[in-house]
Amino acid sequence: MSHNDLNDERARVSGGIDASQIGVSRHIPSYLVWMGAKLSNAASRHFRNTFGVGIEVWRVLVMLSNCGSVSAQEIGQTIDMDKGAVSRTLRAMQALGLVEMKAKIRGGRTRVVTLTDAGNDLFVRMEAVARERERLFLEALSEDECEALRDMLSRLEEQLPKVEDGILRFLARAKGKGDAGSRRRGVSRHGGRSRSTPR
């Protein structure tokens, strides 16, 4: 990478409005999404420029390298990728000779995906870049702080189901209050119906 290219890359990564200016840094979920998007977009550029594939292929490679043979459905559920994106990514990987897809049971409709030797080789090369990016990213923290961060992120991940359950209850309560308020507004102070309320 030339000096100019390096400066352009720094501008892309650090460009735009700072998170603190738009209040993102005060809302932790938004801050995590904002930072994750910057990391993901930058990684995808490096991967495409160096290996000719993007972040979607990398995510699938990581799962297959760690889990062995899995179905397309399991890939989507595990890495939170929609069915269409999984299908497109696997087709592209198959065309590049990175994966094989075979029926799980002879004559069955479910197919499992497995890394080929070429896929495993690409994973090893991409992992080296990913590990270096991680090292540079965490350089700002001590080893103890890195371990504490991993522990906190793990606990936050475990909290996610409670967040979804809790927000559904919150929305149900809010809807109930809104419906009750609408019914009250539909009745006049004299006990009759307002003109805008249908009989």
**What is the tens place of the pLDDT at every residue in 155-193?**
999 999 999 999 999 999 988 877 656 666 665 455 555
Name the token pair of 138. Answer: 């965490």
Length of the chain: 199
Give me the mean pLDDT over the 78-99 stretch. 94
pTM: 0.70
Q: What is the model's pLDDT at position 120?
A: 96
Contacts of 37-45 with CB under 8 Å at 24 or more apart are 38/13, 39/133, 39/137, 42/9, 42/12, 42/13, 43/130, 43/133, 45/9, 45/12
